[in-house]
Amino acid sequence: MSKECKELSFEEIKQHNDRQSTWFVINNDVYDVTTFLNEHPGGEEVLLEHAGKNATEAFEDVGHSTDARERMAEFKIGTLVAAERTADIPKKNTTEWSVPGPDAPESSLKSWIIPVALGLVATVAYRLFFMS
Ligand code: HEM
């Protein structure tokens, strides 16, 4: 079995909870960040706080960049055993855009009032300044 698909349980992960060996779980994947402690831009303390635990929520709360997410791959040592997996927490730094549908309350009203009002103001101003 390759290193990437090793299945690990919290029973084993929680033994790695100090700077000698720092493991945690993010989105059901297991990371060994022992060699990254000194390098982590957010400092080693936050990583050690989550050592041996599930760090998913803390990791997502920070809103890590795509760059940070790409770096994670270097430290992945396995995945959580199926029985201990939880539903993924959606990424915080991916903004979800939604366009209001035709039934969205007030949407059509609001989108008309401003341009129409601006048009009226412009017409009045034009007449006042250039047609007098
Ligand atoms: C393998 C796991 C991790 C990697 C590769 C990683 C990487 C990074 C990187 C590259 C940054 C710089 C900012 C950015 O690019 O987003 C950062 C910042 C930070 N990280 Fe992590 N990180 C990991 C896990 C964690 C965890 C578990 C926490 C727990 C709370 C955490 C907390 C922070 C904090 C507080 C900052 C500073 C944010 C700021 O100054 O605005 N990181 N991390």
For position 53, which CATH number holds? 3.10.120.10
Please count the CA atoms within 13 angstroms of the CA of 33 that sit on its side-chain side: 32
Question: Among the atoms of ligand 1, which is closest to the Cα of residue 71?
Answer: 5
pLDDT band of 34, cuts 50, 70, 90 = very high
Least confident of 7-21, 53-67, 70-84, 112-126: 112-126
Q: How far apart are CA 40 and CA 32, in angstroms?
A: 13
25 exposure class (CB count in 10 Å sphere: 0-12, 13-18, 19+): buried
The pLDDT value given to residue 87: 84
Question: Among the atoms of ligand 1, which is closest to the Cα of residue 69?
Answer: 5
Q: How far apart are CA 49 and CA 17, in angstroms?
A: 8
The pLDDT value given to residue 1: 44
List, in sequence order, the alpha helices (H) in the chain.
Answer: 10-13, 44-49, 56-62, 66-72, 107-130
Within 6 A (CB) of ligand 1 lie 31, 33, 40-42, 46-47, 50, 55, 58-59, 62, 64-65, 67-68, 71-72, 75
pLDDT tens string 91-109? 665 555 566 666 655 556 6
Q: Which two tokens stand for residue 65?
A: 């960049």
Q: How far is the CA of 63 from the centre of ligand 1 (A)?
A: 8
Residue 18 lies in a domain: yes
The pLDDT value given to residue 97: 59
Question: Whole-structure pTM over 0.90, yes or no?
Answer: no
Residue 110 lies in a domain: no
Is residue 71 predicted with pLDDT exceeding 50? yes
Is residue 10 predicted with pLDDT exceeding 90? yes
In DSSP terms, 24 is beta-bridged to 31
Q: How far is the CA of 74 from the centre of ligand 1 (A)?
A: 14
List all residues 6 or more positions away from 7 whose beta carbon is below 8 Å from its beta carbon: 78, 79, 80, 81, 82
Q: Which two tokens stand for residue 123?
A: 């017409």
Range of the domain at 40: 6-80
Q: How far is the CA of 7 from the centre of ligand 1 (A)?
A: 24
